[in-house]
Structure 1
Amino acid sequence: MTRTTAFSSLLEEVHSFRAKHPDVRYVDLISLDIPGHFYGKRYPIEMLEKVAAGSPLKIPQNCVLLGQQGGLHAIGDYCFNDGDPDAPRRLIPGTLKIVRWEKQALGQMLISSDGTQAPIEFEPREVLARVLKRLAGRGIFPVVAFELEFYLFDRALKDGLPQFPHDPLSGDPDDQPNMHIERLSRFSEVLHDIVEAAQEQGIDANVITAELGPGQFEINFGHSADGLQAADWAAMFCRSTRGVALQHGQRASFMSKPYLHAPGSGMHVHISLYDEAGNNLLAADQQQPLRHAVAGCLDLLPHCMPIFAANHNAFRRYGAMVNAASRASWGFEDRDACIRIPESDARNLRIEHRLAGADANPYLVLAAILTGMEQGLAARREPIAPLNEDRTSGIDFAKDMLSAVTAMQDHEPLQQGLGSEFVMVYCENKRQDHLAFMQEINAREYRWFL
């Protein structure tokens, strides 16, 4: 597609949106930063037309480097020694959608530096775009589906702590962990609005499951042959779900481990690999490529923990309870494993990577998994024994952020797969976030040490 054709298509998208939603005056142009939060600008829709027609769209490069709380960390020469330069962004076609969870109708559209003349090497979407381009050059085409678990809480916190959501029918707190389908009926109004809002964003959100935790649910997305689109869906779903829940007097959170006594929330990623003819590469040669891909994922996993467990709280999931692995492992139809091989026919043979917390960055999670699969296919090594054969099988990984960063920062295969500049920036961002998190004395310290 030429630049002229691309601009023409974008203009048609904007014109169609304005005709369908004449009351919308502003559009949020948004992109995901390293911790997984959206940043961007709110544009008058008239100005969006100019951008769609080819006018420059620039946002400070260092927005990508924002810490967990939205501030900037000094990372190399970035942020405080580089003059805070602007960097080009582009509109992502097909993502201009209506936002109905605000008081006034609003539009939103994804933007990215990938595909521009000067992409930001450490932008999460650009990292994934590079991995997908490299795979395509080798004749490997992933099909991807995300699953996200999340919790609903009462909108009001008590002493800063989350409270169980109230059953809309009985008015009682939903404090009894269970997976009964009746919970879907009791919370149907908010859940159906969450799905409808997601579908308005173009997200193929479908199956809803009541999970074991109080107020915990899971949403499944359709499989997509566009890895960037699959990650876009996961990112946008988090944004829309939080907004819709607030409309219903509740909070939605993708926090990895909100309760110590209840299961954490995970981001499960299903991945198949196909060639240009549509053949499932993992199923060839009596599924030997599947085993090689699993071995690659397991080898790389201990060096990707800051991606899969993106914050201090996320490490609390591992080894806690209910399908939360404490070592890198795999197995057939085994939800205790980090990498599960669901039962399927040869056409749909896939891995399900279950380790990441629900609040991880979906672009980076997918990029890390694909890099592990790619390196495994190239090395053609056998994996460790599956859990079905040996319940003690597994590879240790770090259980705290600083140890995980140490394992990540100098790992050459990961630097080759995701980019050395990205690995440097990401590790320092996580280290600085961890140190900032520790700069507060909480009540427990006074109880223990005063």
Structure 2
Amino acid sequence: MKSHSSTLLAEVRTFRQNHPDVRYVDLISLDIPGRFYGKRYPVEMLEKVAAGSPLKLPQNAVLLGAQGGLFKIGDYCFHDGDPDANRRLVPGTLKPVSWEAQPLGQMLITSDGTEAPIEFEPREVLAKVLERLHGKGIHPVVAFELEFYLFDRKLADGLPQFARDPLSDDPDDQPTLHIERLSRFAPVLDDMVQTAQAQGIDITVITAELGPGQFEINFGHLDDGLRAADWAALFCRSTRGVALKHGYRASFMAKPYLQHPGSGMHVHVSLYDAAGNNLLAAHQQQPLRHAVAGCLELLPHCMPIFSPNHNAFRRLGGTVNAATKACWGYEDRDACVRIPESDPRNLRIEHRLASADANPYLVLAAILVGLKHGLEAAREPIAPLNEDRDSGHDFPLEMLEAVRAMQAQPALRKGLGAEFVDVYCENKRQDHLAFQQEINAREYRWYL
């Protein structure tokens, strides 16, 4: 413990030496809907925390709804006295914030690794899943890919406007899947990449996607699943900030336009043993097929995680490369689970169903539980799309149905934790019902 504290203390002191103008540091953590909460600490107080002073935040901050409110979930929130819970600093995450008006720092905090971790904290859920996998001698290597849209900074009557192309105000004039669009938006994209790299994030490939003002960013592969999810979460935060600085609004909303493709979170996962052998490639790829079968079996029960809100369900089906069933295939982007072409050393799955605004810790946790379930059950999967274009299991396309399916799945309750599943499902149920408590203009047009 002493060496751990000394490492953190050295990190804080080095940061202060390198950034003497920074007076405050945002201590942040991801809640259930995938938004950051936390506190802004004077940097001198952060040094005391690094040296071992307690760091406490309300436990129920993890349970915030999409708009920040609290719901009654079991005995939490309104019958538990709103207790504090210990958090700890995540080593290696203290970085400068360059997109705010004043010099700031930020650092991740978490309850995992404390004496009493919060069972429903997303990072803790993933930490437990990884711990069990490591106990079985399974070591995942993970890479995220995130799609997002750039919009004009100002909304028009509450509606997003296409990002203003420096060469044209006509959204139809933006070249899709074309390197030229990367050049047109180079100043903001370059700043996004440099800012992410300053956060310690390994950015690899940038792609102009099909939607006007839509882009995709790929991250490097990591043998630390927690850090891979950290990267995805931190990238969303910094990208929104950089976009505002350049006069744009960056959004990871799943389906901002009905007529254009939605934005997804693609996750590449390979599994290795302690000696570095790719477990999925053994025995003529039989473990790969078993892992795929497990993923597909649990996928319909994970939909509240992969599609975490009303809008995210709009993304499924009807547009390019968005699956309508739990399916798989080799080099097939219409599949939920795609097997990219690779050599045996790099054989992996690409899970493509989650929306870009899903919680990266929970998405990865659900995928890993599915893979582990498949390896243990050792069943063959359904036919790949390469053999049968109609192959696939149905999955829920509406939140309340999805919540019921998730809450009743024994393997998921065991893999993610029964307490987490119950809390998460009630959070999603209450959020969905709160969203419905407004009559929109279309209802008056149709029914008045």
Interval of TM-score (by shorter of Structure 1 and Structure 2): over 0.9
State the match for 2:359 in structure 1.
361
Alpha-carbon offset, residue 264 of structure 1: 0.3
Indicate yes or no: 2:41 matched with 1:43: yes
Name the structure 1 match of 2:260. Answer: 262
Question: Among 289, 294, 297, which residue is 1:296 paired with?
Answer: 294
Counterparts of 1:320 and 1:358 in 2: how far apart (Å)?
A: 17
Tell whether the 8 Å contact from 2:24 to 2:41 is kept in structure 1 after alignment.
Answer: yes
The unaligned stretches of length 5 or more in structure 2 are none
The letter of the residue matching 1:372 is: G
Q: Select 2:440's aligned residue among 433, 439, 442.
A: 442
Aligned partner of 1:181 in structure 2 is 179
Post-superposition CA distance 1:235-287 (Å, at most 9, x none): 00000000000001000000000000000000000000000000000000000
Q: Tell me, what secondary structure is at the counterpart of 2:120? A: coil
Residues matched between the structures, number:
448
- In 2, the alpha carbon distance for the partners of 1:165 and 1:319 equals 25
CA contact (8 A) 2:291 2:371 kept: yes
**Which one of 410, 413, 416 corresponds to residue 412 of structure 1?**
410
- Is the 8 Å Cα contact of residues 177 and 213 (structure 1) preserved in structure 2? no
TM-score (norm 2): 0.99
* Aligned partner of residue 82 in structure 1, secondary structure: coil
Q: Distance in 1 between matches of 2:38 and 2:203?
A: 25
**Aligned structure 1 segments of 4 or more residues deviating by more than 6 angstroms:** none
Q: State the alpha-carbon separation in 2 of the partners of residues 401 and 384 from structure 1.
A: 26
Q: Retained in 2: the 8 A contact 1:166–1:174?
A: no
Question: How many angstroms apart in 1 are the aligned matches of 2:111 and 2:226?
Answer: 13
Aligned to 2:82: 84
- Residue type at the aligned position of 1:321: T
Q: Which residue, 187, 190, 196 being the options, matches 2:188?
A: 190
The alpha carbon displacement at 1:170 in A equals 3.7
Are residues 1:218 and 2:179 paired?
no
Q: Structure 1 residues 283, 370: closer, same or farther in 2, change over 3 A?
A: same
The answer to whether the 8 Å contact 1:164/1:175 transfers is: no
- Aligned-partner Cα distance in 2 for 1:175–1:370: 41
Distance, in Å, in 2 between the alignment partners of 1:397 and 1:74 is: 28
Aligned residues with identical type, % of pairs: 79
What residue in structure 2 maps to residue 153 of structure 1?
151
How far apart, in 2, do the equivalents of 1:308 and 1:221 lie? Answer: 19
Aligned to 2:239: 241
Work out the CA distance in 1 between the residues paired with 2:204 and 2:385: 30
Contact 1:309 1:357 in 2 (8 A): yes
Q: Name the counterpart of 2:322.
A: 324
Alpha-carbon distance in 1 for matches of 2:236, 2:49: 26
Distance 1:120 1:51 in 2: 19
- Give the counterpart of 1:111 among 104, 109, 112: 109
Q: Whole-Å Cα distance in 2 between the matches of residues 171 and 5 of structure 1?
A: 56
What residue in structure 2 maps to residue 401 of structure 1?
399
Partner of 2:27: 29
Q: Which residue of 1 aligns with 2:128?
A: 130
Query: What amino acid sits opposite 2:386 in the alignment?
Result: N
Secondary structure, aligned partner of 2:166: coil
Asked if the contact 2:206/2:218 (under 8 Å) is kept, the reply is yes
Superposition RMSD on alpha carbons, in Å? 0.8
TM-fit CA distance, 1:444 = 0.5
Deviations 1:416-442 (A, max 9, x none): 000000000000000000000000010
Q: Does 1:390 find its partner at 2:380?
A: no
Query: What is the CA–CA distance in structure 1 between the aligned matches of 2:117 and 2:166, rounded to whole Å?
Result: 47
Give the Å deviation of 1:169: 3.3
2:200 & 2:227 partners in 1: Cα distance?
A: 10
Amino acid at match of 2:27: L
8 Å CA contact 1:174, 1:215 repeated in 2:
no
Distance in 2, matches of 1:222 and 1:108, equals: 22
Q: Identify the range of structure 1 (145-154 vs 163-172) with the bigger mean alpha-carbon deviation.
A: 163-172
Answer whether contact 1:195 1:206 (CA < 8 A) is retained: no
Residue aligning to 2:283: 285
Report if the CA contact (8 A) 1:164-1:174 is conserved.
Answer: no
Q: Which amino acid aligns with 1:21?
A: H
AA aligned opposite 1:70: G
Residue 389 of structure 2 aligns to a residue in which SS?
Answer: coil
Q: CA deviation at 1:222?
A: 0.1
| Deviations 1:105-161, CA, capped at 9 Å, x for gaps | 100000000000000000000000000000000000000000000000000100000
1:192 partner SS: helix
- Aligned partner of residue 23 in structure 1, secondary structure: coil
For residues 90 and 417 of structure 1, the distance between their equivalents in structure 2, rounded to whole angstroms, comes to: 24
- Do residues 59 (structure 1) and 57 (structure 2) align? yes
Shift of 1:179: 1.1
Confirm or deny that 1:422 pairs with 2:409. Answer: no
Counterparts of 2:83 and 2:421 in 1: how far apart (Å)?
Answer: 21
The offset of 1:86, in angstroms, is 0.2
Query: Equivalent residue of 1:143, what SS?
Result: strand
Q: CA deviation at 1:173?
A: 4.1
- 1:226 partner letter: D
Could you say which residue in structure 2 is the equivalent of 1:7? 5
In structure 1, what residue type is equivalent to 2:37?
Y
* Deviation at residue 180 of structure 1 after TM alignment: 1.1
Q: Matched residues in 1 for 2:169 and 2:301: separation? A: 46
Q: Tell me the CA shift for residue 206 of structure 1.
A: 1.8
Shift of 1:51: 0.1
Local SS of the residue matching 1:152? strand
Match of 2:72 in 1: 74
Question: Following the alignment from structure 1 to structure 2, what is the Cα–Cα distance between the partners of residues 78 and 437?
Answer: 21
